[in-house]
Structure 1
Amino acid sequence: MQEFQNIGLIGRTESESTTASLERLIAFLELGGYTIVLEANTARALSYHNAKTSSKDRLGESCDLVIVVGGDGSLLAAARALAKYSVPLLGVNRGRLGFLTDITPDQLESKVGDVLSGKYLAESRFLLDMSITRNGKIEGGGSALNDVVLHPGEYIRMIEFELYIDGQFVYKQRSDGLIISTPTGSTAYALSGGGPIMHPKLDAIVLVPLNPHTLSSRPIVVEGSSEFMLVVSEKNTTNPHVTCDGAHQFVTSPGDIIRIHKKPHRLTLIHPLDHNFYETCRTKLNWQIKKS
């Protein structure tokens, strides 16, 4: 029996190129006799299909594999929704950078075919859980595959907060905020903020200050099991925001407590056999290639 028989599909619905790739993929999967389950919004963007449909949040209940056609943002959203099901994700790149969606459109049938025949690499990634507590009551929360970011929000103004790691006071900081990033997110916003690139297999989290008021404040890498607490200062004249993967945004109030820790559910990313993290870095970050 094939390992992957029920295949879920998620696509970036506003993109015509994504729609074309989805239609190719559906035809390929139907020819192979696979059962296709389309995410509901994706299904509405397609002119014709005979596939079952499901909401994104329920897609993992009926699928052995979910293929995401789009950019890294599409895969991040799928990861947040589906991590609890332990269903593996495979990405077809129809975005710009494509650190996570590593099958190109011209390789679609060949690479997806290899994966479905068992020729693939499986990689485990962890996510972060975030919650905001106000006066002892949880006001909001979310999860992130890349990062959780505390930032000023709509106003360009320094904010003040205290950082605790595993219950120990680290510092009080005045800055534009703080990025708390997984290894997956270390090549995203954290990299732009001056953070290090971390190999995806590392069980570590990096904290990257955003334009700190003191030049001695530098990124810190800590173990992945660490628990973080940020206390929003009562002195702030604005309301700092918290975002998860740049998508879900929450507005805090002075005195709020933000807690962040590793999510209990892990994500399995599927890659073609020729996937190489360092080659991805060379290609996506324009590192110099050694001449032959």
Structure 2
Amino acid sequence: MIRRVLLVCHTGRPDAVAAARQVWRLLAAGGVTVQVLDAEAGILDLPDTTPVVAKPQAVDDTDLVVVLGGDGTLLRAAELAREPGVPLLGVNLGHIGFLAEAEPTDLAVTVDQLLAGRYDVEERATLDVQVLLDGREIWSSWALNEVAVEKIARERMVDVLVEIDGRPFSEFGCDGIVVATATGSTAYAFSAGGPILWPDVDALLVVPLNAHALFSRPVVVGPHAAVSLRIRSSTAWVTCDGRRSTELPSAASVRTTTSAQPVRLARVHARPFVDRLVAKFGLPVRGWRNAGRVDD
């Protein structure tokens, strides 16, 4: 049974703010203590709530984080919830919302399920990221979706040597390289032409971005592989989930491994992943030739 919930909201969206207020009313009526982030408290304007600072330590005694927004808002909330292991439940108020569990029309039913304790928690693998220069760590971070190494200068490519488990795999002149989890396979990696992996597939996905090479196919490697991206020329950026980034000097190496610390997602709907794919991407189950067809 949940006793304390943190609401994280995309306060720039009026529909997200309205949904947050609805969730607050339903939770409060069920006897749940509701917390909000101090930076969002003024806009949400919810009585009898406890503002907390946006730090992982602030949610140590929280049972659940309910996120109202798109996948970007959920990734922001994951920065708070991952370390203490608090489950996240996303309400999709963005565009696709692959990480979200509920739609705005399902709010009352979803909260009823939470109050009754009828939800499961699944763990999603994350990535540990190290930037090394001359064998010394100069930056570190983590990612739920992907780690992207990308060129800085628009007019030139970046040369990147991909190494797997300490052995050279291939060097690419390219716009960059994405290393993604199964969760991230439907995000940046998918947009770059990578395959979709089911969330329970233990693997890492390596996707070159616009590589000037005869072989530039996405590669799927095992979950215990160490993927290193060594910068051979000029400089580049490394970005984790589109949120945390740093500039990479020439000769720097980005080492990516599966982390021991997952992100936990709360699920109230026992929907197969294939149904989620069909719904989120609007896939025509009768075939592409029949999509949008108007019968006589």
Q: Give the alignment's TM-score, normalised by structure 1.
A: 0.93
Is 1:242 the counterpart of 2:235? The answer is: no
CA contact (8 A) 1:186 1:197 kept: yes
Match of 2:176 in 1: 177
CA contact (8 A) 1:10 1:69 kept: yes
Match of 2:279 among 273, 283, 287: 283
Match of 1:188 in 2: 187
Is 1:107 the counterpart of 2:106? The answer is: yes
Letter in 1 for 2:25: A
| Higher mean C-alpha displacement, 69-78 vs 35-44 | 35-44
Match of 2:84 in 1: 85
Q: Secondary structure in 2 aligned to 1:279?
A: helix
> After the TM superposition, which residues 107-126 of structure 1 pair with which residues of structure 2 at under 5 Å, given as runs?
107-126=106-125
Identity %: 32
Is 1:270 the counterpart of 2:261? The answer is: no
Q: Deviations over 1:157-194 (max 9, x none)?
A: 21102111111211222111111000000001101111
Match of 2:293 in 1: none
CA drift of 1:134 comes to 2.5
Q: Secondary structure in 1 aligned to 2:19?
A: helix
> After the TM superposition, which residues 154-233 of structure 1 pair with which residues of structure 2 at under 5 Å, given as runs?
154-233=153-232
Match of 2:21 in 1: 23
Distance in 1 between the 2:3 and 2:49 partners? 14
| Higher mean C-alpha displacement, 28-37 vs 55-64 | 55-64
Distance in 2 between the 1:275 and 1:41 partners? 34
Letter in 1 for 2:217: R
Is 1:13 the counterpart of 2:14? The answer is: no
CA drift of 1:48 comes to 3.5
Distance in 2 between the 1:260 and 1:184 partners? 15
Distance in 2 between the 1:270 and 1:260 partners? 26
Match of 2:36 in 1: 38
Distance in 2 between the 1:59 and 1:71 partners? 23
CA contact (8 A) 1:39 1:59 kept: no
- Alignment root-mean-square deviation, CA: 1.6
CA drift of 1:90 comes to 0.5
Match of 1:71 in 2: 70
CA drift of 1:154 comes to 5.0
Match of 2:136 in 1: 137
Q: Deviations over 1:87-116 (max 9, x none)?
A: 111011111111111311111111121133
CA contact (8 A) 1:187 1:197 kept: yes
Deviation beyond 4 Å, 4+ runs, structure 1? none
Letter in 2 for 1:119: R
Distance in 2 between the 1:199 and 1:113 partners? 28
Match of 1:56 in 2: 54
CA contact (8 A) 1:149 1:244 kept: yes
Q: Give the alignment's TM-score, normalised by structure 2.
A: 0.92
Match of 2:252 among 240, 252, 256: 256
Unaligned segments of structure 1, at least 5 residues? none
CA contact (8 A) 1:151 1:178 kept: yes
Distance in 2 between the 1:49 and 1:164 partners? 54
Q: Secondary structure in 2 aligned to 1:203?
A: coil
Q: Deviations over 1:213-252 (max 9, x none)?
A: 112221110111211222111xx24x21111111222111
Letter in 2 for 1:270: A
